[in-house]
A = this chain, B = another copy of it.
Amino acid sequence: MSEKIVTAAFVMIGDEILSGRTVDQNLNFLAKNLTEMGINLREVRIVPDVEDEIIFAVNSVRKKFDYVFTSGGIGPTHDDITAEAIAKTFGDKYEKNLQAVEILEQSYGKKNVNEARMKMAYMPRRASLLDNPISSAPGFRIENVFVMAGVPKIFQAMFFAAKKELVGGAKTKSREIKTTLTESLIAKNFSQLQQKYLQVAMGSYPFDEGTALVFRGTDSEAVNSAASEMIDIIKNIDNNSLISA
């Protein structure tokens, strides 16, 4: 039984990330969670808070991948331009979403929904809201694009809401082997192993004490066989060089 390969892209809208003011905290969270549910994050783009750049980036990825996630720019201030940019991306009307208005009114009280807060209720006409228990900021979905907040806590809450609507595919099995051997000592054998197991993606990552070898693929038997063979290779070179497997 071979399951479908499901793919995703992530577009961060964030002057503050690009300037270095803020350290991104969303990418690894998203990557790990998608991987766990059998969705392959295949591309990330970070663009500034500029309408044309947002539209271009989202249009570049939304037809290429099954799902697209965006972060940032959906708050009440003038620099929050993502929702309108996404409406333009889809050639859709940018208008008040009545369900979002209701949530804002419930959350703040009808009298306290000022102009700025009401701005958060505007989104593409065809958007559907994402549940978000910890804030009234409305994330939304339009087609395969999930528009979420940049603040990590809210991003995470919105992702868990989005998750209910995501259909995962073939899960990636991953094995990691750590050895004190340097990359160049095992490179040749490692490359030959890659040739033998073309269905397994093999990566080598040096670290202070040696090398981490990662075996990834949807064919878990092949991943395990390849990893076992590599353990034997490492032990053959130096029996004491295996750190973990």
Binding site for B on A (CB under 8 A): 12, 15-24, 27-28, 30-35, 40-49, 53, 75-80, 114-117, 119, 150-151, 172, 174, 176, 183-188, 190-191, 194, 201-207, 214, 216
Contact = CB atoms under 8 A, between A and B. Distances in A.
Nearest to A108: B184
Given A24-B27, A78-B194, A114-B188, 9 more contacts: A20-B41, A21-B214, A45-B46, A75-B204, A75-B206, A77-B204, A78-B202, A114-B187, A151-B206
Contact of A188 (B116, B176, B206): B116
Contacts of A32: 20
B48 A202 contact: no
Contacts of A207: 151
Given A77-B204, A78-B191, A151-B206, A20 B24 contact: no
Contact of A45 (B43, B150, B184): B43
A203 B44 contact: no
Contacts of A27: 17, 24, 46
A22 B174 CA distance: 13
A188 to B, nearest CB: 6
Contact of A174 (B19, B31, B151): B19
Contact of A77 (B24, B34, B76, B190): B190
B19 A41 contact: yes
A21 B214 CA distance: 9
Copies in the complex: 2
A183 B43 contact: no
A75 B23 CA distance: 27
Nearest to A75: B183
A12 B43 CA distance: 10
A203 B31 contact: no
Contact of A17 (B31, B80, B119, B214): B31
Nearest to A33: B20
A49 B203 contact: yes
B44 A205 contact: no
Given A77-B191, A77-B204, A116-B184, A174 B42 contact: no
A15 B31 CA distance: 11
A191 B123 CA distance: 19
